[in-house]
Amino acid sequence: AAAVDAVSREQRIASLCKQAGFQCDPFLHEFGLQINPKMYEMIGRVLTPPRILFGENNRKTDPIVMPKDGVWSMDDQRLYLPASCHSYSMIAMVNPREQNHLQAFCQALTQKANQVGMEFPNWPDLVKYGRTKEDVVILFNEIATEYKQTGTSCDLVIVVLPNKNADLYMTVKECSDMIHGIMSQCILMKNIMRPSPATCCNMILKMNMKLGGINSRIVADSITQKYLIDVPTIVIGIDVTHPTQHEERQNIPSVAAIVANLDLYPQSYGANIKIQRKCRESVVYLLDAVRERLVSFYKTTHQKPIRIIVYRDGVSEGQFSELYGNKSFLSY
């Protein structure tokens, strides 16, 4: 949904135009220009919302949900393909005195997970407390070491953050994704204090996808069936993120991301992240990344894609010729 609804946005634009006084502007009059105070009207269309399929359940609830105004309810629904979390740990960047709140949240999270069909432990194996981003590194190392010593594995680390802190968050993701290869899920302490069913459900949807599950599927209409389902199809998304002016002075590179589905029904996705020279829009290592995505698709489906659909973001008109002339596969 938009941050500002259409009616409020229209009223704001009309008010700004009125304040600008275009009708009395001597410069516009000198050039013989007039601005119509009314917005341009054109014919639009509203797309029919796709139906969403959840998992089968023993209740009388219909697993197919029709969204209304862009939202839908998961009440009495189960995940389409629930993942299993056999063990998890928690890093709490808060005062240890908050243990009671953490325990209440874990109980609420487990209860909601069971309701939607996800296997989830009642309590984390390890709970560790810290304050700084240096503590995050130490605590992740401790968790990885303790699991290794017991010969078990950690499926997930839940990290409780005191507030929105970019440095802490970045350190958590670096430790979990890049160093130890353990999935992580962050949550703010203010949401721990009041663990509503909606908060727990939102957490579970994120964790289920990270652990390899599928939350829901789109019920295919005739067009989706024809262009995505009938033949093996791989959908590839490509984008390049560039450093800001401040980051550019620190010689921070650009990051290229290549994402593609792993299954025949485009629902599970894998990604490749490549570092390249800053402010370069073309993807330097595209061939290797696309090859990895194609191999992953084949390993999962045991089929080669018949159709390849590419979505390329972030290309301005001035860059079309550059990317079109690049000989790298799918560089445009």
Q: 224 or 319: whose pLDDT is higher?
A: 224
CA distances from 154 to 74, 105, 286 (A): 28, 20, 33
Taking 50 as the threshold, does the pLDDT of residue 332 lie above it? Answer: no
pLDDT tens digits along 161-174 = 999 999 999 999 99
Q: Average pLDDT for residues 203-227, to the nearest whole number? A: 91
- Position 36 scores a pLDDT of 86
**Fold (topology level) of 230-324:** Nucleotidyltransferase; domain 5 (3.30.420)
- Position 329 scores a pLDDT of 45
Residue type, 68: K
pLDDT tens digits along 236-276 = 999 888 777 666 666 778 888 899 999 988 888 999 888 87
Q: Average pLDDT for residues 99-114, to the nearest whole number? A: 95
Contacts 24+ apart (CB under 8 A), 228-231: 228/265, 228/266, 229/264, 229/265, 231/306, 231/307
| CATH 3.40.50.2300 domain range(s) in the chain | 52-210
- Position 112 scores a pLDDT of 95
- Position 12 scores a pLDDT of 92
Q: Average pLDDT for residues 188-205, to the nearest whole number? A: 92
| CATH 3.30.420.10 domain range(s) in the chain | 230-324
Phi and psi, residue 274, nearest 5°: -125, 135
Q: Average pLDDT for residues 75-90, to the nearest whole number? A: 94
pTM for the full predicted model:
0.80
Sign of CA dihedral 74, 75, 81, 86: positive
What the block records as the tokens of 298 is 């084949």
Contacts 24+ apart (CB under 8 A), 93-102: 93/129, 93/130, 93/131, 93/135, 93/136, 93/159, 93/160, 93/161, 93/162, 93/168, 94/129, 94/160, 94/162, 94/189, 95/129, 96/129, 98/189, 98/192, 99/127, 101/192, 101/193, 102/127, 102/160, 102/192
CATH class of the structural domain 52-210: alpha beta
Out of 24-33, 62-71, 203-212, 319-328, pick the least confident: 319-328
